[in-house]
């Protein structure tokens, strides 16, 4: 298998996932949120461990929380403003 074979296969897999997600009932979709967040946190921790290979588990969690807080700040930027500003 070469790189030219991978792109069409990856596109087909993605299209199938999209079709299944669109067909899923709303109740099932609501349940995916916590699961997807948990998976994202695992991947973020893996990235932190790669970036800081000597970090302890507590340090990795602290960096994860710091990054999640920063992402929240970026997402909320401009949404909340002081009264009278």
Separation in Å, CA 18 to CA 5, 7, 30, 62: 21, 16, 16, 34
Q: Is the pTM of this model over 0.75?
A: no
66-76 pLDDT tens trace = 999 998 988 88
Residue 42 has pLDDT above 80, yes or no: yes
Mean pLDDT over 47-55 rounds to 97
By CB atoms closer than 10 A (0-12, 13-18, 19+), residue 45 is: middle
Q: Are the C-beta atoms of 16 and 23 separated by less than 8 Å? A: no
Residue 51 CA from chain centroid, whole number: 18
3-29 pLDDT tens trace = 788 898 999 999 999 999 899 999 888
């Amino acid at each position: 298998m070469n790189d030219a074979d991978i792109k069409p296969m990856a596109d087909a897999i993605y299209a199938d996932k999209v079709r299944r997600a669109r067909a899923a009932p709303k109740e099932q979709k609501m349940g995916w949120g916590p699961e997807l967040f948990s998976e994202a946190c695992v991947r973020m921790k893996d990235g932190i461990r790669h970036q800081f290979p000597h970090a302890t588990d507590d340090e990795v969690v602290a960096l994860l929380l710091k990054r999640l807080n920063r992402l929240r700040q970026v997402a909320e930027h401009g949404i909340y403003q002081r009264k009278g500003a």
